[in-house]
Amino acid sequence: MKFVAVIRQVPDGESRLKIEGGKVDLGGVTMILDQMDEWAVEEVIRLQEKHGGESVVVALGPERFEEAIRTALAMGIDRAIHLVAEGYLDPITQAEALAKVIRAEAPTLVFTGGQQADWDSQALGPALAEALAWPVVSWTTQIELEGETHAKAKHDLDEGAEVVRVALPAVFTSQQGLNEPRYPTLPGIMKAKRKELKKVPVSASSKVEILEQTIQEKSRLNKMIDGKDPVAAAHELVRLLHEEAKVI
């Protein structure tokens, strides 16, 4: 069996973004492996640990993506393919370029992040499935293989969750709760240097061109809860944290 994780490198959510000349300036910003892609990497490693076979990470992006790829290798992925393309490519164009390589790899399944933190888009996974003409399971929180032909997966819907059986190969996208990613170990980091990282130049032209970027200024909501009834206030706070802030 072969398991593929598709990953991207994005700005750390804690870093402060600047706009220079109508474009986001990434200079001085810490770049990290997209957290949702990290769940995908972790799940692929777990599937390999459980079922054997091979784990591969595929990334499409500029040279600097190599850091994120090395992180995935340090976590335990066997080898990597880096499709090198500088500049912006829209998700559909990306999916087409990725699909060519992934089809050639012929994996059992592909995992990627449910959402791309930098574009705030959820398109890449479904677009990749479309380009491969494979089924897609988005927002996966649990996956279990049934032999080499099917997988049973639980995934989130807007108002709940459902359990599906899907024919493989298929594309899965990750959701919070899927797993707790491991830290790369020191020996893992040292070993990552010696793992295969194949670079493939890509010359695709984006169907979407970014003309101007601005940063949304969000003002505080200043929500106040009436504390006359402490029990009711606590319930309301929990509800707000859970449903609106979605932090618990």
Partner 1 sequence: MAVLTTDQKMVLDMVRAVSREVLWAMAPEYDRTGQYPWPQLKQLAQLGLLGMTTPEAWGGAGLDSVTWALAMEEIAAADPSVAVILSVTSGLPQYMLNRFGSEAQKKKYLVPLAKGEWIGAFSLTEPHAGSDPASLKLSAQKVPGGWELNGLKSWVTSGGQAQVYVVMARGEAGISSFIVEKDTPGLSFGSPEEKMGLHAAHTCELRFEGVFVPEENLLGQEGRGLAQALAGLDSGRIGIAAQAVGMARAAFEIAKQYADERTQFGQKIREFQGVGFKLAEMHTRIAAARALVLEAAAKKDRGERYTLEASTAKLFASEVAVSVTREAVQVLGGYGYHREYRVERYYRDAKVTEIYEGTSEIQKLVIARELYR
> Where along the sequence are the contacts to partner 1 (CB under 8 A)?
32, 66-67, 70-71, 74, 183-190, 192-193
User: What is the rounded CA–CA span in Å between residue 34 and residue 186?
Assistant: 21
Residues near 66 by beta carbon (within 8 Å), at least 6 away in sequence: 82, 197
Least separation in angstroms between residue 193's CB and partner 1 is 7
Least separation in angstroms between residue 223's CB and partner 1 is 21
Q: Name which of 189 and 237 has its Cβ closer to partner 1.
A: 189
Give yes or no for a contact between 39 and 178, defined as CB atoms under 8 angstroms apart. yes
Least separation in angstroms between residue 187's CB and partner 1 is 5
User: What is the rounded CA–CA span in Å between residue 138 and residue 191?
Assistant: 32
Q: Name which of 74 and 102 has its Cβ closer to partner 1.
A: 74
Q: Name which of 165 and 193 has its Cβ closer to partner 1.
A: 193
Least separation in angstroms between residue 70's CB and partner 1 is 6
Q: Name which of 135 and 184 has its Cβ closer to partner 1.
A: 184
Give yes or no for a contact between 149 and 88, defined as CB atoms under 8 angstroms apart. no
Least separation in angstroms between residue 186's CB and partner 1 is 3
User: What is the rounded CA–CA span in Å between residue 109 and residue 2?
Assistant: 7
Q: Count of H helices and E strands in the chain?
A: 6, 13
Query: What's the Rg (C-alpha) of the chain?
Result: 20
Q: Name which of 193 and 223 has its Cβ closer to partner 1.
A: 193
